[in-house]
Amino acid sequence: MAYDVNLSGMTLKNAIITAAGPWAGNAEGIQRCIDAGAAAVITETICLEERQRISPRLFMKDQQLFNTMLYSNLHLEEWERVLDRIDRKDAKIICSIWGTSASEMAYLGKKLENMGADALEISLSAPICSRNKLIGYHSPDTEDFIRALVDTVDIPVMAKLSYESASSPYFIKELENAGVSAFSAIDALKGLLGVDLEKKRVLMPTFGGYTGTNIRPVSLAMTAMLRQYSRLPVISSGGVLHFEHVLEFLMLGATAVQLASAIQLYGYDIISSVIVSMENWMASHGYKSIDDIRGTALASLRPFEDIVPRTLVATNSKPCTRTDCTLCMQGCLKEAIMRNDNGEIIADTSRCDGCGLCVERCPDQSIRLSWR
Amino acid sequence: MRGRLIRTAHRWHIRGEQMNIKRIAELAGVSVATVSRVVNHPERVRDETREHVLSVMQQYNFTPNWFARSLNLESSNTIALLIPGIETDFFQQIISGVETVAGNKEYAVLFGQTNNYPKREAEFVDMMINRKVDGIIQVNSRLNGEETLLMQNLELPRVHIGKNRVCTSDTLCYVDIEEGARRMTRHLIELGHKIIMALFDEANSNTSEQAFAGINRALRDTGHTIIFSSAQAENSVRGGYLAVQRLIQSKSMPEALIAASDLQAIGAMKAARDAHINIPDDLALASLTDSAVCSVLSPALTALELPSKRLGMAAARMLIDQIEGTLPYVDMPHDLILQPKLKIRESCGNTQDIYEWFD
């Protein structure tokens, strides 16, 4: 089976790209991504001036991952040697870049093209540092900024979008006008780990990039939204941990999917395991190409206004006798779920107005919604 | 003659169908940088790649000019850096940036301090040519008149750091001081300051002009009536100290003062403190350059961070691009402009932001 993907004229051997990040910050890391089977590797963000790393820079609490990393700590000359040294096999190398002005972006992009980058990704609206607000979000300057790069290089230029920037159809249109070839979405959300109440101090020293499984629903929504706003390819990122997540993004219209914090948390092996399980799933379902599934779930997505109100109510066919769980009762604002005289939990259909939360929460699936 | 060879080296591509490094790279299925390395640093290329690229070059009878150059060993692997002075952080960072990239690319840097004297600068240019440098970086060049003719006839790769194109160099790079000064002035106006004064560096008219243009744009864009004046002062702690003392004695203190540098601003702070003038309550103070001490001062100084090391790195890269012919030249921007960052701290009366904030 061939599950290759065409992205802006590049043939990717599968739909899995490793996102810009420290796992692709030097030759060894990039090589491990390639060897694990990634179709394309996006480098850590390269600038004209290297940036020293801060320590600590990764923060975690309750499976929530935050990072305060932004730019590569390698000089451009070192990147030249990195790009020369790696054995690319059949993988593509996409260089993530950032600069403060149109000419800086154009110069850096052209240098990297000549060093062998197959494509460029602009780290357009990273959530971590303070940047000139005139570029990362909707503004008259953005188009010139990106067009300077697009006009200078002869390789595809992708824009990596934050949730905020991807949310604006006007901004998306502006990026299209500037000539970008594809969108990567979404970048990490801006996040703070929390506050130490006794010390009255934040738990991390600056705003971080909040990534991982919790941001996946946000990213799923943005993939579907971008498909609505634009005809350009979308490369989805945000909380992809399993092959099922990849399939979800593809069914919402993504052209390819980026793995990011999964590599940070579970190592490079997750790349090959996601690729293999995904191809097994595709084969076992008889799909011969990713085109067979791409965007297939979009037809079931409707605007809120078009959803016909139905008069459904919660029913449980037999009363629940559990005493250790009251999730359904706790969440019922209408007090429609209660214990009867025998202490069993029952649903009162006359009080219920059909919100469906008890159905979602019940660990035994013993409640369902039925017509009144 | 050597210079002429180099000059043509990065212009192959404009000669119609002629074979060029880009085409060779395409035919060999490698990057332009790899072809360049096969010629300039063959030891850094894997054996099979080198053999392959050389065979493609042979097949298409392609001998770049710099190939001949590297064979006859005329290259000195030396570049010249002519800079007005080394006292300020801005120039030191430029030197550091140039040195960093030159080191990465195995070039040595010959250094000349011009003290802003055109004659001294011209002598240095002459000296550097005699020492067979491969290229020259000039910082805020003051060459004019007859000295400019010298540069016009010189076909040596060169890059100018600074916005003025006085030395007729093709390639410029500079920090957009005008935009930085505009944002700084806008910040002062937004904080309600109505009488604003700028102290300019008496020895650097070029930078002063750009800052003045930016301040003017901010004054034009605002709907408020602002009284603006300016004065010249030495770019030093002493210069700032004396300037503010003079303002105090002549009872012409502004509400907000923009200093040409953090050194000047520190001098201004001292003069204000001596006269019991509170910053920021009685006087807002901002600096057109930033340094490590600005955030340690009390109050912390609002300042413009100039990416001066990056500026030096960019200049060295653009020069070595020309020397080695590694970039298809016409595709490239000839002017590289870097944006400064306004670091909003406490010295102008900003209380809204919770910490150092950038614009």
Nearest-5° Cα angle at B310, B150 to A124 = 125
| Residue A359 sits in the same domain as residue A234 | no
The pLDDT score that the predictor gives to residue B359 is 54
B-facing residues of A in 108-167 (CB < 8 A) are 110-111, 114-116, 130-133, 148, 152
| Residue A120 sits in the same domain as residue A143 | yes
> With pLDDT > 90 as the criterion, what percentage of chain B qualifies?
55
Instruction: Give residue B17's pLDDT band: very low, low, confident or very high (50, 70, 90).
Output: very low
Instruction: Determine the average pLDDT of the residues in B199-227.
Output: 93
pLDDT tens readout for residues A123-138: 987 776 666 555 555 5
Number of neighbouring beta carbons within 10 Å of residue B345: 21
A-chain residues near B31 (CB < 8 A) = 83-84, 114-116
Residue ranges and CATH numbers for the domains of chain B are: 2-71 (1.10.260.40), 78-174 (3.40.50.2300), 177-305+341-358 (3.40.50.2300)
Structural domain of A294 = 5-300
Instruction: Give residue B13's pLDDT band: very low, low, confident or very high (50, 70, 90).
Output: very low
Contact A75 B101 (CB under 8 A): yes
| Residue A30 sits in the same domain as residue A92 | yes
| Residue A282 sits in the same domain as residue A351 | no
The pLDDT score that the predictor gives to residue B328 is 56
Residue A210 has pLDDT above 50, yes or no: yes
Contact B317 A148 (CB under 8 A): no
B47 in contact with chain A, both atoms CB, cutoff 8 A: no
Taking a C-beta distance cutoff of 8 angstroms, is the pair A263, A248 a contact?
A: no
Instruction: Give residue B166's pLDDT band: very low, low, confident or very high (50, 70, 90).
Output: low
B327 in contact with chain A, both atoms CB, cutoff 8 A: yes
pLDDT tens readout for residues B271-294: 999 999 999 999 999 999 999 899
| Residue A238 sits in the same domain as residue A363 | no
Residue B155 has pLDDT above 80, yes or no: no
C-beta contacts of A63-66 below 8 A and 24+ residues apart: A63/A212, A63/A213, A63/A214, A64/A191, A64/A193, A64/A210, A64/A212, A64/A214, A65/A210, A65/A211, A65/A212, A65/A261, A65/A264, A65/A265, A66/A191, A66/A192, A66/A193, A66/A204, A66/A208, A66/A209, A66/A210, A66/A211
| Residue A189 sits in the same domain as residue A265 | yes
Q: Measured between CB atoms, which of A47, A115, A132 is closest to B31?
A: A115
A-facing residues of B in 138-177 (CB < 8 A) are 176
* Alpha-carbon A328 to chain mean position: 32
Beta strands (DSSP E) in chain A are: 5-7, 10-12, 16-18, 40-42, 58-61, 64-67, 92-97, 119-123, 157-161, 182-185, 189-191, 195-196, 201-202, 208-211, 234-237, 256-259, 312-315, 337-339, 345-347, 368-371
A76 in contact with chain B, both atoms CB, cutoff 8 A: yes
Last residue of a domain, one of A250, A278, A300: A300
Quote the mean pLDDT of chain A: 93
Closest chain A residue to B326, measured at CA = A114
Tokens 């008890």 found at: A358
ipTM of the complex: 0.87
Closest chain A residue to B344, measured at CA = A130
Last residue of a domain, one of A300, A325, A347: A300
| Residue A288 sits in the same domain as residue A337 | no
pTM, two decimals, is 0.86
Number of domains composing chain A: 2
Closest chain B residue to A152, measured at CA = B331
| Residue A160 sits in the same domain as residue A250 | yes
Instruction: Give residue B38's pLDDT band: very low, low, confident or very high (50, 70, 90).
Output: confident
B34 in contact with chain A, both atoms CB, cutoff 8 A: yes
The pLDDT score that the predictor gives to residue B206 is 84
Residue B216 has pLDDT above 60, yes or no: yes
Instruction: Give residue B68's pLDDT band: very low, low, confident or very high (50, 70, 90).
Output: very low
Instruction: Determine the average pLDDT of the residues in B147-175.
Output: 77
Residue A97: CATH number of its domain: 3.20.20.70
pLDDT tens readout for residues B111-144: 999 998 888 998 998 899 888 899 999 998 888 7
Closest approach of chain A CAs to the CA of B284, in angstroms?
A: 23
Q: Measured between CB atoms, which of B31, B309, B357 is closest to A49?
A: B309
> With pLDDT > 90 as the criterion, what percentage of chain A qualifies?
84
| Residue A139 sits in the same domain as residue A113 | yes
A-chain residues near B332 (CB < 8 A) = 106-107, 110, 152
| Residue A362 sits in the same domain as residue A232 | no
pLDDT tens readout for residues A229-272: 999 999 999 999 999 999 999 999 999 999 999 999 999 999 99
Quote the mean pLDDT of chain B: 85
Q: Measured between CB atoms, which of A47, A101, A114 is closest to B337?
A: A101
| Residue A180 sits in the same domain as residue A235 | yes
A200 in contact with chain B, both atoms CB, cutoff 8 A: no
The pLDDT score that the predictor gives to residue A133 is 55
| Residue of B317, B329, B344, B353 to mutate when probing chain A, most A C-beta within 10 A | B317
pLDDT tens readout for residues B69-126: 444 456 789 999 999 998 888 999 999 999 999 999 999 999 999 998 888 998 998 8
Residue A361: CATH number of its domain: 3.30.70.20
A-facing residues of B in 177-206 (CB < 8 A) are none
Last residue of a domain, one of A300, A332, A357: A300
| Residue A348 sits in the same domain as residue A285 | no
The pLDDT score that the predictor gives to residue B70 is 45
